[in-house]
Amino acid sequence: MVQRFLKWMRSPARMSMSFDDRAYRLGEAVDLTVELRARKNLQIIEGRLDLVVEKRYAEQQTRMVATRESRIVTRGPKTHLHPRVEILEHHEQFVHSTAVFVKNGQVLSGKTVQWSPRLNIGPKPHPSAVIGLFTWYLLAALRVPDGDEIKHAMEITVEQDGS
């Protein structure tokens, strides 16, 4: 938590994002406003907007496990097999749709700049988006020359067919 705060304090800019707070469907477009307030002069290589899907699911797996039982009456240990049920939790992320909203830009220290990108949500779900708990979010990222990125993410509601 402290490291996250310190990173935010050292960030060369503050970014925010706004869009209509409603449920979107596959195939629709999201109109946004991305705002950047520079704390120092910034060269921007590229600004992009990603619609990211985070998928979480669990699967149950049963496997046979050998246990040894020591017996005094009979000679030597006896091995028994018994089932062991395990729950495997999975967490995957993938980019569903993307849009570039600025290339080779510059923002002067103390200035605020706004962009109004439109992100077209792809009409089809990702092939692995079948079963699980899904969280969708928009990620705005500005790539700067030192290889770093200034990022801001917000959750968004996207309904798939049958949702």
Give the pairing of strands 42-69 and 118-120. unpaired
Dihedral sign computed on CA atoms, order 117, 122, 127, 128: positive
- Name all domains of the chain by residue range, CATH numbers in brackets: 2-59+89-159 (2.60.40.640)
Q: How far is CA 60 from CA 27, 65, 66, 68, 86, in A?
A: 34, 16, 19, 25, 6
pLDDT tens readout for residues 15-29:
999 999 999 998 999
Mean of the pLDDT values across residues 1-23? 74
Query: Rounded to the nearest 5°, which phi and psi values hold at 132?
Result: 145, 180
pLDDT tens readout for residues 136-150:
999 999 998 877 889
DSSP 8: H
pLDDT tens readout for residues 98-136:
999 999 988 988 999 999 999 999 888 766 655 667 889
